[in-house]
Structure 1
């Protein structure tokens, strides 16, 4: 295995072991952000200074999905080039283990000592067609691998719908919500076994559901329809109760911690849109960069970091004024972003 370097600034020692019982790293009060770069490993952002501190070379190409354990000790990346996930010790920056997943691993969520990873055996690179599907065999289902991080292996494999994409958990963590792009559906699964509990067709509302997030109180579920320029709001019975117009090609979506605002990243219009979570009226459009899919609040909720892949930058936004305050350039096609301590975002949440 190659050597991977990460400076252990402000961290306590963590035993290099696959188990998750090791002590949590200690950071400055503001914490740290991890950004997956499809062409440059994982950038480590010091949130106290809002500067890039280091880079972790994951050893394979194309890291996209990214997640972190609740104690901050282990980072997980989904690597297209290796058809695997990398389990990374955040203290040393060493890859502890690669876990084979399958072709095109993409989205990662970590809950407890399990990682949930979408992968698409039939998917090809490139944009989708106008009807929402990529140029592939739409009959081939996507999958969600459930990985036991203590054992370092896949323990369940959920056979999903074509092009599984976004993942979210119920408030009690017992259910898993999945968006299925080509199938234009939302499916509900038992989070432990992967068993399908319910399928909600969304095709009559639009095409290509992608981002998905549960409100902090657990009463509303929102999902973006990438090719229909809208966000759907579902209640706790999975009924669609509201259609909200967005800018072009919405993807990443998140509530703020209070549940009072919803944030949506619009790819083609290069905006982070802010909506009132009660009235669904638009509060503001914030100009950002090119192909900005995912974003995260900082752990103190004071700033928002947006990963903009095609402009190779992170855009920093003041969460109160909703104004851009900084651009962190020279990234390597950033895809996803998570923080430690965990914060609200389009991928993760506390």
Structure 2
């Protein structure tokens, strides 16, 4: 049964309520259906995977150039893609694939989170979109000097009203803002700033920065960030530190945990018992006990696997692996790969409808 939000519901104060409801949500399932997964392909369209058969059944040609970030609204009506080369987002009818509108965001839009009828999109005016140099290399030192010498443009999170099709405001982050998460009470947005080596916390309503968390002692380039299902902690991956940092509900780092090589996307399972981290260069999905942070298992995946999602019934995990051009299917109980779905167009992000738990999404 699909849920449709009543007309007239607004982001605030209903925003905070929806977050609390989301923490307690049971697995959603469309009547008689296993649901669908949507994959953003940086070199092509949106692939649609039937989760009952684990086969690609159609492609939507409606995204712009180089779609990366991807989100689906809670009512299932809209898909949103962040199109890096076009500097905009596409708003797409989820059922038909028809392009409904585009909204100009800014240079290098990348990460998308949806909440109610709003989309939060990070974009990076100072980024050239290329992979960062290796830490300590001459290229990295030159880039660091340039950052110190130049007045680089900060990154932002654009707050978009999807009904109105316009940007309402922009929340200023740091340099190369990447990952996005919301606080448990719905008042704050947390963003990872790759080039600043920090995580900043902002008031959603005003955009005012309320805290800066320095993660430089743990490595360079924070990427992914997630709130625990109980709302009491937050975790973030440090790409060039091969590290995971754990923050308490006051946004204080209380623990660091070693990961595989080049971690990015991460997500708790729905119960909050396990934490999953995608390690791009290790070509693994690492599974932790979310209470002790001891490694439960390290699962082989593919090349440049950044983002993943559980199926709506929580029985399987699908991870998008860009450089090996595939989506790897993993049994969520045995933690063993069960299938590889070919996708030759550089898959980047993946979400499902009904909405499920994943590195890019969480059920509302």
TM-score (norm 2): 0.87
| Residue aligning to 2:133 | 129
Determine helix, strand or coil for the equivalent of 1:321.
coil
Moved more, 119-128 or 98-107: 119-128
| Residue aligning to 1:165 | 178
Aligned partners of 1:28 and 1:48 also within 8 Å: no
Residue 135 of structure 1 and its aligned partner are, at CA, apart by 5.0
Q: Where do residues 1-350 of structure 1 align in structure 2 (5 Å cutoff)? A: 28-131=32-135, 135=143, 138=147, 139-350=152-363
Higher helix share: 2
Moved more, 264-273 or 201-210: 201-210
Determine helix, strand or coil for the equivalent of 1:204.
helix
Gaps of 5+ in 2: 11-28
* Structure 1 CA distance for aligned equivalents of residues 40 and 111 of structure 2: 11
Query: In the TM superposition, what whole-angstrom CA distance separates every residue of 1:264-319 from its partner, at most 9, and x where no partner exists?
Result: 00010100000001111001010000000000000100000000001110000000
Q: Does 1 or 2 have the higher relative contact order (CA < 8 Å, sep 6+)? A: 2
Query: In the TM superposition, what whole-angstrom CA distance separates every residue of 1:44-71 from its partner, at most 9, and x where no partner exists?
Result: 1111111111111125210000001001
Residue 20 of structure 1 and its aligned partner are, at CA, apart by 9.8
* Structure 2 CA distance for aligned equivalents of residues 97 and 154 of structure 1: 13
RMSD after superposition: 2.2
Moved more, 123-132 or 177-186: 123-132
Aligned partners of 1:299 and 1:341 also within 8 Å: yes
Change (3 A) 1:26 1:344: closer
* Structure 2 CA distance for aligned equivalents of residues 52 and 174 of structure 1: 38
Residue 106 of structure 1 and its aligned partner are, at CA, apart by 0.3
TM-score (norm 1): 0.90
Determine helix, strand or coil for the equivalent of 1:237.
coil
Change (3 A) 1:285 1:59: closer
* Structure 1 CA distance for aligned equivalents of residues 30 and 275 of structure 2: 30
